[in-house]
Amino acid sequence: MKFLKLFLVFVILGIQFSFKIQAQNKELDPKTTLQKLSTTYYLINNFYVDTADLEKLTEEAIITVLKELDPHSAYISKKDVEKANEPLVGSFEGIGVTFQIFQDTILVISPVPGGPSDKVGIMAGDKIVKINGEDAFGKKVNNEYVAEHLRGKKGTKVTLGIKRGKNDELIDFDVVRDKIPLNSIDAAFMVDKNVGYIKLDRFAKTSNTEFEESLAKLKSQKMKSLILDLRGNTGGYLNIAAELSNQFLKKDMTIVFTEGDKSPKQIFNTDKNGKFTDGKLVILIDEGSASASEIVSGAVQDWDRGVLIGRRSFGKGLVQRPFNLPDGSQIRLTTARYYTPTGRCIQRSYDKGSEDYFKEMTKRMDHGEFYHADSIQFPDSLKYSTLTSGRTVYGGGGIMPDIFMPVDTTFATKLYTDLIRKGIFNRFTVDYVMENRELLSNEFNNFENFNNNFIITDSTIEDFKKLAEEEGVEWNDEQYLRSEKMIKLQLKALIARNEWDMEKYYQVVMKEDKVVNKAIEILNDSNQYRKILKR
C-alpha cells in the first residue's frame, strides 16, 4: 500500500511535470524519462528478488542525478533542511552555548553573550555531564545528541548538571531555552587610529544589518579606511551579497548579473548611495572565499572601488535555487551563472566531474599557486578591463586579487598540526582560564591591558607540553622552536576569547597576520593605494 501511494505520486507528478517541461522543451518524451522512471520503481517493487528500500533508492537516485549535473546542485533530506538553512537564517532556539565534544564530554567553549546560559551563570570551561538528570557523557555523545537534547522550543526548560573546574560536586542550572542569534560578523574593531577591520563569516539574512551596525561603530571611532575580511567566507544569499556591495558603491552601478538557459538575465544594480562610498577599502580573499564573497570582491574590483589582497578565490559562480519536494526534503538546483559587472564568469570548469572539481585546492597547492603568484596563468581570452581605470582583470576560475600574498608556512610543523588536530589548544586554554580567572581579572582588568602586557611564560608552555604528551602528541623541541611564535600567539588569543569574546581572539592574532598588516600598510599610504587602482 505504501509503495502504491508512492507509485501514484510518481505517476501524478510525472504527468504534471511532463506538461510543464514540454511547454519549455518540446523534445522531451515522457516515455523515455518520467514514465520510464516510475515503471522501473513498479518493477523493482513487484518483481525484485528481495524487498527493496524504495525511499532510500529514491534519495540515492536523486543524489546521483544531481551530481551528474554540476558540483553544487544538491539534495537535502527532510531532517537536514532546517539544519542546512540555519547558518543563513541567522538564529536557532536553544540554550545558547558554543561547545566542543572532548573525550566524550560536552565542553562549553563560551556562552552566547546575553543568552539563556549566560544569564544563569554558565561559564567557559564548564562541562555538561547531566541533562535533565540523565548522564550526558560517553560514546553516545555526538553533535546530533547535543542538538537533540540542548536545542528546543523557546520557553521550554532544561536542567543541566555542570562540572566546574576541579570541584567534584555538580552544579545544577535550570536554563529556559530562547531564540539564539547566529551573528555572521565575528569581529569589528579599529586596528589603528585610521583603519577599521570587519570579519564577515558568511552572507546570512542579518549580515547587511550587522554590517551597518559595525560600520556605524567604527565610524564613531573616527575610521577613515576599512579592511573587509572575506577569507574563508564560503558565501550565502546572493541578494545579501548585492546589498553589502551596495555599501561601497554609488547609485545606479551594476553589482552582478545572473543568467541561465531557463533563467532570463537578471541585473542587480545599486539603488542608492552606500554608507561607505568614499573611504579607502581593502578586501581580503583566499581560496576559501566563494560565491557571495566573489560577488562583492568582483564588483569592488571591476569598479576600481578598492584593493583586493590575498590569493585567488574559490571560483563558484553558480546560483542555486531551493525547490521543496513533497515529503519536505529539498533540492537546491543550479539555475543560473552569475557574472561580475565587466561580464566575467567566475565559475571554474567542472567538465571532468564533481570529484575532480573538489580536488582543485590540492591541485593548486601541488602546482605552487599558494606560494607563487606567477604559477597562475590566465589566457588572453579571459582578459577584461575594469570599468573606471581600465586595469586588466581575469575571469574563468575565481577572483585574482590585486596583490598576491602567499600562504605563511614559517610556523607549519607536524607538531603544530597535531596540537590543532587533537584539540590541545582549546582544551588547555579553557582549563587555563577556569584556573586563573581571578588572576586574569586582578592583573589584567581589561582586554587592552591583557593584549599589551600578557605573555605566555615558559612554565605555561611546560604545562601545555605535559597535556599534549598526555594526549598522545609527540613533542619535538626543534619543531617547537619553529612554531613557537604561533603556538604562543594561539594560546594567548584563545585565552582572550575564553575570557572575553571571539572579537578579542582576532585582535590578538592580528599582530602576526601578514595579510592584514599588508592591508594596513597600503591603506596608510595614499600614493601606493592610488597606484594600484591607477587613479
How does 171-188 read in b/e, with b if 16+ C-beta sit within 10 Å? Answer: eebebebbebebebbbbb
Nearest CA-CA partner of 344 in 375, 381, 388, 374: 381
Would the CA dihedral through 20, 25, 28, 34 be positive or negative? negative
The C-alpha atoms of residue 389 and residue 102 are separated, in whole angstroms, by 54
The C-alpha atoms of residue 18 and residue 247 are separated, in whole angstroms, by 44
The C-alpha atoms of residue 399 and residue 393 are separated, in whole angstroms, by 8
Cβ atoms of 292 and 237 closer than 8 Å: yes
Nearest CA-CA partner of 502 in 510, 511, 493: 493
How does 106-126 read in b/e, with b if 16+ C-beta sit within 10 Å? Answer: bbbbbbbeebbbbeeebbbbb
In the block, cell 593584549 appears at 451
The C-alpha atoms of residue 137 and residue 105 are separated, in whole angstroms, by 5
Cβ atoms of 274 and 246 closer than 8 Å: yes
Q: Phi and psi (nearest 5°) for 227?
A: -105, 120
Pairing of strands 225-229, 195-200: parallel
User: Which residues have a catalytic role annotated?
Assistant: 291, 302, 316
Nearest CA-CA partner of 469 in 396, 415, 535, 525: 415
Would the CA dihedral through 353, 356, 361, 363 be positive or negative? negative
How many other CB atoms are there within 10 angstroms of residue 138's CB atom? Answer: 9
The C-alpha atoms of residue 314 and residue 285 are separated, in whole angstroms, by 9
Nearest CA-CA partner of 158 in 120, 107, 112: 120
Cβ atoms of 266 and 258 closer than 8 Å: yes
CA 157 to chain centroid? 31
Nearest CA-CA partner of 299 in 386, 180, 178: 386
Q: Which three cell numbers stand for residue 421?
A: 588536530
- Between 414-421 and 424-443, two packed helices, what is the crossing angle to 10 degrees? 80
In the block, cell 537516485 appears at 61
The C-alpha atoms of residue 95 and residue 313 are separated, in whole angstroms, by 36
